[in-house]
Amino acid sequence: MNELNLSFEGFDNERSLEDIVWTIEMSQGQFCLILAVCDSTKLRDNMAQKLQEVCPNIEEIVLKSSDILIHPQLKDINSQKHPSAIMVRGFESVTKIDRILTSLNQVREELWKSFKFPVILWINGEIAKKMIRLTPDIESWASITNFSSFSGKQIDYRPEMVDRFNQNQGSEDRDKLNNNNFLIELFSRFYVLQDLGKEIWFLGLY
């Protein structure tokens, strides 16, 4: 039996990106809020770059740590340009994140009336949870797209590795640690495989 490589990095991410592209195309002439949820900064940046390559008329706002409002920056772009969408990144770097989220919630009606294209917010899971708690109106209006950052690390399932695991049962120190690592990896892959067959609603938060 050969080593089995369970590589899920990027699993379904292309389809998630296609969903955003489709939403952008279908929402021209009307406002739409898209929450793009991804915990990996690298993956988030890669997906945002790919989105700009597919839809080159997307404008981008990168928030600074000192920012407390998004709306003025959105209005500036809306008044000066005619983008197909605006995407906002950098939420994880904002110091007063609660304030910037609540301020966005306060202008949601104005966004709906004034903007005729989608706005995409790239956020991580922690900020998504904050939005549910602080701005339930915004969250309920939004179209939510999740991106998976599962690492796809290899696990060695060769018979000799399984035999070593069995021989190390009850042993101490290093062998015991190796056994624990083997089990952790094995069960984590089992649950990932299990989840791939399910429809997960917004990070599994109900």
pLDDT of res. 12 = 81
Question: What CA–CA distance (Å, rounded) separates 43 from 47?
Answer: 6
Question: Is the pLDDT higher at 44 or at 79?
Answer: 44
- Per the confidence metrics, is the pTM higher than 0.75? no
Residue with tokens 């998976």: 148
Residue with tokens 């917004």: 202
Identity of the residue numbered 55: C
Q: Which CATH superfamily is domain 13-146 in?
A: P-loop containing nucleotide triphosphate hydrolases (3.40.50.300)
What is 118-146 written as a DSSP string? EEEEEE-HHHHHHHHHH-HHHHHHSEEEE
pLDDT level of residue 1 (50, 70, 90 thresholds): very low
What's the chain's Rg over C-alpha atoms? 21
pLDDT of res. 167 = 56
- Over the stretch 69-127, which tens digit does the pLDDT of each residue have? 998 899 888 888 889 999 999 999 999 999 999 998 888 888 888 888 999 999 999 99
- Over the stretch 151-192, which tens digit does the pLDDT of each residue have? 444 444 455 555 554 555 544 444 443 444 444 444 444 444
Identity of the residue numbered 27: S
Asked whether the beta carbons of 118 and 85 are under 8 A apart, the reply is yes
From residue 112, how far is each of 90, 104, 115, 132 by CA, in Å?
23, 12, 6, 19
| Strand 143-146 relative to strand 118-123, pairing | unpaired
φ, ψ (nearest 5 deg) of residue 89: -125, 170
Q: Which residues pair with 191 in a beta bridge?
A: none
Question: What CA–CA distance (Å, rounded) separates 34 from 111?
Answer: 13
Question: What residues does each domain of the chain span?
Answer: 13-146, 159-204
DSSP class of residue 58 equals E
